[in-house]
Structure 1
């Protein structure tokens, strides 16, 4: 039995979050904007649907954030490589990325899982002082 299974015998294939923690629920339902948004307490406004990705925006009292999901891991990796040019900090999960102010990422991680990744931008490094 894996950590994503509940005491009731559900498996990842059931794709139904039950009494599992929010982190386990994120593993049960990866790459669904609507599920991620619900777990974070918002109703996502879908702003882009393409073959390689979907994007939805969330507006909460804590702040706004963008949820991007991908049909395959390779599309997420390409997105992250492109985002590296701009730098920034993101919450990254299985076939999804959340873009938000850095102060929001840890509270979101506690709800949906994933890893916080800081991407370094390209360009000249600051000179030593």
Structure 2
């Protein structure tokens, strides 16, 4: 009597289900890379955000996933989580070269809102898909070599306060 392949509830063989699962997992693994390639906005490198100037990594081979602990591991630090909220997770890394803050977001829209808010204060940040790193400017380039991303210099939005001439 010939051996029949094992079939599940859907009538597919076990091998077919495994192959389909592997294809799905591979596609999901490439999704963050595809999202990282989308500049968004009007096609300009900074996505139409005029208050930032971006310096892209010319050959960053790594794009870190949006998880504080994984990004921290790639940078070589043991992170201490300081904020764990629905909109963002934030961890602090203490290193001999200086401290830095890794912030991750569940969706790109939260990161963009966070960057818009940070622009009020100015500063330079390393930014990737659903994450940002806040550090001294001289630390950003070595971190970028480890996790990829883009260095963004946010202009401080200062509003002039009318002087009172009395």
TM-score by length of 2: 0.60
Partner of 1:7: none
Unaligned runs of at least 5 residues, structure 2 = 1-24, 31-59, 161-166
What is the CA distance between 1:11 and its match in structure 2?
A: 3.9
Question: Per the alignment, in what secondary structure is the counterpart of residue 89 of structure 1?
Answer: strand
> What residue number does 2:115 align with?
80
The structure with the largest alpha-carbon Rg is 2
Cα deviation digits, residues 65-122 of structure 1 (max 9, x gap): 0000000000000000000000000000000000000000000000000000000001
Residue 42 in 1 paired to residue 94 in 2? Answer: no
* Residues 24-59 of structure 1: per-residue CA shift (max 9 Å, x gap): 44x3x5210000000001011000011100000001
| Aligned-pair Cα RMSD in Å | 2.0
Measure, in 1, the Cα distance between the counterparts of 2:27 and 2:146: 18
SS at match of 1:39: helix
Residue 89 (structure 1) aligns with: 124
For structure 1, the residue ranges without an aligned partner over 5 or more in a row are: 1-9, 16-22
Aligned match of 1:63? 98
Aligned residues: 107
Give the structure 2 partner of residue 20 of structure 1: none
Change (3 A) 1:12 1:86: farther
